[in-house]
Amino acid sequence: MKTLTCFDDFKALHDRLRAQADPNTTTIVIPAGTCGIASGAAELIREAQRAILANDLAGRVALRVTGCHGFCQMEPSILVEPRRTFYPKVNPDDVERIVRAAALDEVIESLLPPGPMGGPCVATQDQIDFFARQARGVLSGNEKVDPTRIEDYIAQGGYSALVQALSRSDAGWVIEQIKISGLRGRGGAGFPTGKKWELARNARAVGGKKFVVCNADEGDPGAYMDRSLLEGNPHAILEGLTIAAVAIGATHGVIYVRSEYPLAIKHAQIALRQARDMGLLGEDILGSGTRFDIDIVQGAGAFVCGEETALIRSIEGRMGEPRQRPPYPIAKGIFGAPTCINNVETLANIPFIIRHGADAFAGIGVEGNTGTKIFSLVGKIRNTGLVEVPLGMPLKEVVHEIGGGPAGKTRIKAVQTGGPSGGCIPASLFDLPISYDSLTKAGSIMGSGGMIVMDENTCMVDVARYFMNFLKDESCGKCFTCRKGTQRMYEILEDITLGKGTPEHIDLLEELALVVKDTTMCGLGQSASNPVLSTLKYFREEYRRHVEEKRCDAYVCKNLVGAPCQAACPVDTEPWRYVALIEKGQYDEAYRIIRQANPFPAVSARVCDRKCESRCSLGVGGGESVAIRALKRFITDRVDPAVYRPEVRSTNGQARKIAVVGAGPAGLAAAHGLSLLGHKVTVLEAEQESGGMLACSLPAYRLPREIVRAEVATLMNENITVRHGVVFGQEVTLEGLSAEGFDAVFLAIGAHESWRLDLKGEDLAGVYPSMQFLKAFNLRGEELASGHVGIIGGGNSAVDAARVALRQKDVTSVTLLYRRTRGEMPAYEEEVEAALEEGVTIETLVSPVKIRVRQEEIETALREGVELETLVSPIRICSREGRLVGIECIRNRLGDLDASGRRRPVPVPGTEFTLQFDTLIVAIGERPQSAPLAAMGLATDKSGRVKVDPKTLATSVEGVFAGGDLVTGPNTVIDAIAAGKKVADVIDRYLRGEPLVEPAEAKLPTVFLEPADVDEEDLENTTRAVPPVLPVEKRKKNFREIEKPLSAEQARAEARRCLRCDLAFTQERQPVCGQSAAVGEEYA
Partner 1 sequence: MDDRTVETIVAEHHGSLGGMLSILTAIQSEYGYLPEDALRRMAAATGESLTDIYAVVTFYKAFSLKPRGKHLVSVCLGTACHVRGAPKIAEEFIGQLGIASGETTPDKEFTLETVNCLGACALGPIVVVDGRYYSNVRKNQVAEILKRTREGLDQPRENRRFPLSVRCPHCRQSLMDAAHPIDNVPSIRLTMSWDGDSQPLYLSSLHGSLRSVCERETPAHSITVLACPMCGQDLVGDSRCSECGADMARMTIDKGATLMVCTRRGCAGRRLNLETTPAEAD
Q: Give the residue among 640, 230, 192 at the shortest CA–CA distance from 436.
A: 192
669 binding partner 1? (CB under 8 A): no
Stretch of 55-63, 199-207, 396-404, 541-549 contacting partner 1, by CB under 8 A = 55-63
Q: Report the C-alpha gap between 560 and 95 in whole angstroms.
A: 49
- Nearest residue (CB) to partner 1, 470 versus 539: 470
Beta-sheet pairing, 293-298 with 926-927: unpaired
Radius of gyration of the chain (CA): 34
Burial label for 841, CB within 10 Å (0-12, 13-18, 19+), is: exposed
Q: Report the C-alpha gap between 501 and 68 in whole angstroms.
A: 44
494 binding partner 1? (CB under 8 A): no
1011 binding partner 1? (CB under 8 A): no
Stretch of 462-470, 498-506, 636-644, 855-863 contacting partner 1, by CB under 8 A = 462-470
Give Cα separations from 1031 to 145, 606, 862, 1028, 1041 (angstroms). 59, 18, 14, 9, 11
- Nearest residue (CB) to partner 1, 72 versus 347: 72
Looking at residues 13 to 32 of the shown chain, list those that interact with partner 1 (rule: CB under 8 A). 20-22, 25-27
CB of 96 to partner 1, least distance (A): 11
- Nearest residue (CB) to partner 1, 463 versus 887: 463
Stretch of 52-60, 594-602, 650-658, 753-761 contacting partner 1, by CB under 8 A = 52-60
224 binding partner 1? (CB under 8 A): yes
Looking at residues 65 to 84 of the shown chain, list those that interact with partner 1 (rule: CB under 8 A). 72-73, 75
Q: Give the residue among 257, 255, 254 at the shortest CA–CA distance from 218.
A: 257
385 binding partner 1? (CB under 8 A): yes
**Among 438, 458, 930, 1066, interactor with partner 1 by CB under 8 A:** 458
Looking at residues 605 to 644 of the shown chain, list those that interact with partner 1 (rule: CB under 8 A). 620-623
Looking at residues 314 to 353 of the shown chain, list those that interact with partner 1 (rule: CB under 8 A). 314-320, 334
Give Cα separations from 652 to 469, 649, 679, 721 (angstroms). 56, 9, 11, 20
**Among 7, 9, 42, 199, interactor with partner 1 by CB under 8 A:** 42
For CA atoms 727, 732, 735, 741, give the dihedral sign.
negative
- Nearest residue (CB) to partner 1, 20 versus 914: 20
Give residues with Cβ within 8 angstroms of 923, minimum separation 6: 754, 769, 770, 791, 792, 793, 795, 797, 798, 801
Half-sphere exposure for 1071 (CA within 13 Å, toward CB):
10
- Nearest residue (CB) to partner 1, 465 versus 820: 465
Task: Determine which helix (DSSP H) or strand (DSSP E) holds 255, and give its type and residue range.
Answer: strand 252-257
User: Binding mask 291-320 vs partner 1 (x if CB under 8 A, - otherwise)?
Assistant: ----x-xxxxxxx----------xxxxxxx
Looking at residues 407 to 436 of the shown chain, list those that interact with partner 1 (rule: CB under 8 A). 416, 419
Residues β-bridged to residue 914:
888
CB of 874 to partner 1, least distance (A): 42
**Among 454, 872, 922, 978, interactor with partner 1 by CB under 8 A:** 454
Per 3-state DSSP, what percentage of the chain is helix, strand, and coil (rounded to 5)? 40, 15, 40
Chain-centroid distance of CA 192 in Å reads 36
User: Binding mask 88-127 vs partner 1 (x if CB under 8 A, - otherwise)?
Assistant: ----x-----------------------------------
DSSP state of 328: P
DSSP one-letter string for 165-212: HHH-S-TTHHHHHHHHHT-B-TTSS--BHHHHHHHHHHSPPBTTB-EE
482 binding partner 1? (CB under 8 A): no
CB of 43 to partner 1, least distance (A): 5
205 binding partner 1? (CB under 8 A): no
Residues 371/190, Cβ–Cβ less than 8 Å: no
Looking at residues 130 to 149 of the shown chain, list those that interact with partner 1 (rule: CB under 8 A). 148
Q: Report the C-alpha gap between 889 and 879 in whole angstroms.
A: 14
Q: Report the C-alpha gap between 193 and 170 in whole angstroms.
A: 19
* CB-CB neighbours of 481 under 10 Å: 19
63 binding partner 1? (CB under 8 A): yes
H helix runs in 498-569, sequence order: 503-518, 523-527, 530-538, 540-548, 558-561, 564-568
227 binding partner 1? (CB under 8 A): yes
**Among 261, 587, 728, 818, interactor with partner 1 by CB under 8 A:** 261
**Number of residues counted as binding partner 1 (CB under 8 A):** 97
**Among 136, 210, 380, 775, interactor with partner 1 by CB under 8 A:** 380
Q: What angle do CA 1033, 1041, 569 make, to 5 degrees?
A: 130
Looking at residues 938 to 977 of the shown chain, list those that interact with partner 1 (rule: CB under 8 A). none
510 binding partner 1? (CB under 8 A): no
- Nearest residue (CB) to partner 1, 826 versus 839: 826
CB of 19 to partner 1, least distance (A): 9
- Nearest residue (CB) to partner 1, 86 versus 224: 224
CB of 206 to partner 1, least distance (A): 15
Q: Report the C-alpha gap between 694 and 691 in whole angstroms.
A: 5
Half-sphere exposure for 614 (CA within 13 Å, toward CB):
13
38 binding partner 1? (CB under 8 A): yes
CB of 273 to partner 1, least distance (A): 5
**Among 1, 908, 935, 1048, interactor with partner 1 by CB under 8 A:** 1
